[in-house]
Chain A
Amino acid sequence: MTDSLHLVVRRPARVEGEVRLSLAVPSDLTLVGDAVELVTRHCDVGVLSPRRLQFNLRTALAEALANAIRYGNRQDRTKLVRVEIECGRDAVRIVVADDGAGFDPREVPDPTTPENVAREDGRGLFVLRHLVDQIEFNQQGNSVCLVLRAG
């Protein structure tokens, strides 16, 4: 499965310890797990604690990828989800972008209200917000930037 994933790793000489990754993921939900493991392995550079790396980063990336593949690119395997990751000294920054029309994150209902809590779906964005220190969408809503601060 990892044959379908294309990862580029750069270690800029001017910044010691910094790693930059670029990953292109075909819009296939079965690739999410492999993509997450690939990124996690390369981000294991001491910026995040092992616990935050293994839980927060992995879960947040899985959510962002699944949203981009399912709702953005509508599982069209010919379309790629582009992931850019910067593991710096102060934080890990992850940008996940798709080719979809985008959405307005303010219109996503609260999944914890009594009428929504027993629904099968609709928790992705809510979970994502709690896993990262900062989350920002572009104006179109088809690219999300996640920040996990060091520690």
Chain B
Amino acid sequence: MKLEYDLVIIGGGPAGLAVALEAKRNAVKDVLLLERDKYLGGILPQCIHNGFGLQYFKEELTGPEYAERFISKLNDNQIDVKTETMVIEITPDKRIIAINRDDGLLYIQAKAVVLAMGCRERTREAIAIPGNRPAGIFTAGTAQRYINIEGYMPGREVVVLGSGDIGMIMARRMTLEGAKVKAVLEIMPFSTGLIRNKVQCLDDFNIPLKFNHTITRIEGGKRVEKVAVAQVDKNLQAIPETEEEISCDTILLSVGLIPENELTGEAGIKLDQVTRGPIVNENRETELEGIFACGNVLHVHDLADFVTEEGEIVGRAVGEYLKRNRKFRSQSIKIVPGDNIAYVVPQHIDFIVPGRKKIKIFMRVKKPVERIRINLLDDKGRVLGSCKKRIVTPGEIVSVYLAEVLLDNKLKNIIISIKRD
């Protein structure tokens, strides 16, 4: 097989698919897409619910349909695909070592690499819930795979911990399959998922959502028998007097996603402590030139549509990179999160791009706030971009446009600030 490529993309989910097609549109010749599963699409094929594509295609699709829109175009675009191939190492000089059944170990040299490995779910262990360790504890995504891909129900009486999107979607899915979802517990006073999911997945099915609640203990010998549940105080500590027991045979965990950056770290690429993804510039290029990252490996997105959008940014950027058609700013501009901003992507701006009018800056807040204005300020407090919001929550990414024309050569930092409107 061919072992030299202009572009190698690691991960065939929505990010990788978008990069592949957009790179082709930007005259990148040889593209290889590596995927560890049997099929492309990443997590989309198991997301059989609808709600995909509203932003990108302006129509409502299921996960598999959304994925298929991209997958079906790969062949016509002469994009090489290798499924069931696990990448085990990326070197700073863009050599990729992968393994599969047919070839054994593959050593592939790329001119550009895109990291699109997605994320993994936080586990019971990551949040250290005390108690026993019986069967019946699943992350919501693993339960989703069992039901929607393997065709088996992993539980009858379910308690869901965490009101992340997958948790709420699985609460509905299991209800539709005849399971009894006894409660969805959320330690925060607000839902960490999309509002539309709370309405359509929980409210419509009378599934109780308990804010400020968590699981304090898991009980059961061989299989989960019950959980102890308690209300938490302001410091998120369980209040013992409020503890009650809920009998159940299954616990689903939807307690957060972690970008899957082991390969990235081992390649020596610096990670952002908050996003746990690589630090990137506006091209989503990491600190190693020619190695890019997009999708959930970079930071966890709310919607697949936004992942696609980011993949396309990278597809274009790879084209520019391979054409050696880029002009660096004399100085990189760092974007600094201010009060109540958890993180920002991109973390810096490196290029001068003729004709570019604005740059979209993505961020997440730490705490929900209402009726605010988000400003992008320079060192002197001058507004470089601004956006008014009725409400912002940690569950939804906010984006603000930065006006290119206002970026002068000496600019070092841009500070993000939130103001009551």
Q: Do A and B interact with each other, yes or no?
A: no
Q: Which residues of A contact B (CB under 8 A)?
A: none
